Each structure stands twice: as C-alpha cells, then as structure tokens.
Amino acid sequence: MSEVITIAMQKGGVGKTTTTINLAAALAEMGFSVLMVDLDSQGNLTEHAGFDPEGISPTVYHAFRDEIDGVEPDIEASIYKTEEGFDLLPSQPEMSVIELSLINVMSRERVLDLILDSVRDEYDYILIDCSPSLGLLVINALTASDKVLIPVQTEFLAARGASMILKSIATVKRGLNPDLEVAGIVLTMADTRTIITRDIVNAIQEQMGGEYRVFQSIVRRSVRFAESAAAGQSVISYEPKGRGAAAYRAVARELVNG
Ligand SMILES: Nc1ncnc2c1ncn2[C@@H]1O[C@H](COP(=O)(O)OP(=O)(O)O)[C@@H](O)[C@H]1O
Ligand SMILES: [Mg+2]
C-alpha cells in the first residue's frame, strides 16, 4: 500500500524542501521505495536532488500539460532515479504557467491525483514538495494525498503561521479529499541552545499538540543542510553520521510507526 504525503506550509524557507529530500533518503535507507514529486516551479527539490530544473525534460510540467490536454501522460518518462535510491518527478520553471492554466480546467484540483494513479502502486511512499503558497498546485497535492506533513520553524509564535495551511487542509477535507489526515508538525531549524528550544517546543506543543501531532524529533539548525543542498545530496548521504541525518531518520521512524 502506497502512502502519498504532501509537505506543505504557505511560508517559504521553513524547511519544506529539506524535509522532503531528507525524509525520502531516510525512508529509502529503511528499505522503502520512494518517489519525490517537485511541484514548486522554483525547482529547489529538483536541484537539491542533483538535477538542473532549467535543463531537465520531461518533467512534472509535461505530465500536467498532457493531462490538461486530455492526452495520456507518459509519467515513467518524467521519473528519474537518484544515486541515493529514491526517484524524482522533477519540476521546471514553466510549472508557474500550469498554476494559471489550471484555472480553466475541469476537475482542476484532481489533475495530480490522475497523474499519480499510474505510478502509485510502484512506491511505498510518494512525497510531494510544494511551493510556499495556497494556490491550485498545493490544492492538487492535498487532494492527491493521504497525509500532510507541516514543517514549522522552531521559533516563538511560529505555529501561528500554520493556521492558513490548516484552513486549506480543512477545506480540502470537507470536499475534495475527506480522508486527508494531518500526519503532524515537524519542528525545523531549532536553535542549538537547548534551553530556549525547550521553551519554544513546549509553547508549540501547548498551542498545537492538543489537536495535532508534534513530532518528538526536532531538526536543529546546521550549516550542513545548505551544504548538502549545494552538493545535490540529502544530508543523510552528505554527512551520514551527523546530527541532521540522525534527526531526519528519527522523523522518518516516527512517521512509519504512526
Ligand atoms: N535545519 C536546518 N538548519 C539550517 N538550515 C536549514 C535547515 N533546514 C533547511 N535549511 C536551509 O534553509 C533554507 C530554506 O530551506 P528549504 O527547505 O528550502 O525551505 P522551503 O522549502 O520551506 O522554502 C535552505 O537554504 C536550506 O538549506
Ligand atoms: Mg521549497
């Protein structure tokens, strides 16, 4: 049984892309087959996985294009194997055009769901990385997903920023995808000073923990994340024995264990 998980938050720079690739790497290391889908026209995930979003073709753009035009898309052609053992359905800048052209499409919220139908059974996990917006592509991701994971920066009041995405999730649950579940909140970019972090984690737990699961494993701030991105690798491959790798392995275990 495959599980489709969207990593979403309407704020940029909170660690969505970093969480997507490192979860993918951790899950692949555990022996699961994993596909990452880059839905962001910025192509950060594509780049982080070692591909050039300006040069790679075909991509998720072509899959959307075909599906919108009523042509059966060749998804397999747009899926690339990474050296780390997981697969990638990359993005390219033209995805920003798709966001607009979807407006006039029938079942415009279900296009990604249709695209993924032909590959769903080939993976244990499909992780979808979204742009920092609440646009139609994010709605497509939520509609195609079983679960959504929300990365939140470990700062005071940061949890407030999650209210918008939680509203979108509630809207999608009411109509398009009643079975959508919030897998939980992953705290990222925590200060390395433990005392302050504890207070913030407690505050977020108090604010959100009643209704949503806040993952026990917290991802601390480390320059290794930016370094690994520049190297086109997950931090799990870049620094397998580091704290960042350990943190995402722990998040993956929590996710798998439910
Ligand atoms: N735990 C972390 N510690 C330090 N830097 C991080 C961490 N997680 C992500 N980053 C860096 O912060 C920036 C934004 O992260 P990213 O995952 O791209 O966020 P988003 O996808 O939400 O915009 C990137 O440069 C990334 O390398
Ligand atoms: Mg991103």
Atom of ligand 1 nearest to the CA of 9: 22
Question: Nearest bound ligand to CA 161?
Answer: 1
Q: Is the per-residue pLDDT at 159 higher than 90?
A: no
Q: Is the per-residue pLDDT at 207 higher than 90?
A: no
Atom of ligand 1 nearest to the CA of 223: 4
Within 6 Å (CB) of ligand 1, which residues are found? 12-18, 44, 132, 188-189, 219, 221-222, 225-226, 229
Range of the domain at 136: 3-257
Summary count for the chain: helices (H), strands (E): 11, 7
Mutate to test the pocket of ligand 1, among 6, 14, 18, 155 (most ligand atoms within 8 A of CB): 18
Atom of ligand 1 nearest to the CA of 14: 22
- The structural domain count of the chain equals 1
pLDDT digits (tens, 9 = 90+) for 161-186: 888 899 999 999 999 999 999 999 99
Q: How far apart are CA 207 and CA 66, in angstroms?
A: 43
- Measured N-to-C along each axis, helices 16-29 and 223-230 cross at an angle, to the nearest 10 degrees, of 80
pTM of the full structure: 0.97
Query: Alpha helices of the chain — where are they, by DSSP H?
Result: 16-29, 44-48, 60-69, 95-101, 111-117, 136-144, 163-174, 194-208, 223-230, 235-238, 243-257
What residues have a C-beta under 5 A from ligand 2, the ion?
16-17, 44
Q: How far apart are CA 14 and CA 241, in angstroms?
A: 23
pLDDT above 90 covers a percentage of the chain that reads: 86
Q: How far apart are CA 95 and CA 43, in angstroms?
A: 9
CATH of the domain at 188: 3.40.50.300
Instruction: Supply the residue whose CA is at minimum distance from atom 14 of ligand 1.
Output: 13
Tokens 């009411």 belong to which residue?
174
pLDDT digits (tens, 9 = 90+) for 48-87: 999 999 999 999 999 999 999 999 999 999 999 999 999 9
pLDDT digits (tens, 9 = 90+) for 218-254: 999 999 999 999 999 999 999 999 999 999 999 999 9
DSSP 157: T
Among candidate residues 24, 129, 128, 38, the one with its CA nearest the CA of residue 84: 24
Mutate to test the pocket of ligand 1, among 225, 227, 239, 248 (most ligand atoms within 8 A of CB): 225
Q: Is the per-residue pLDDT at 157 higher than 90?
A: no
Q: How far apart are CA 122 and CA 255, in angstroms?
A: 20
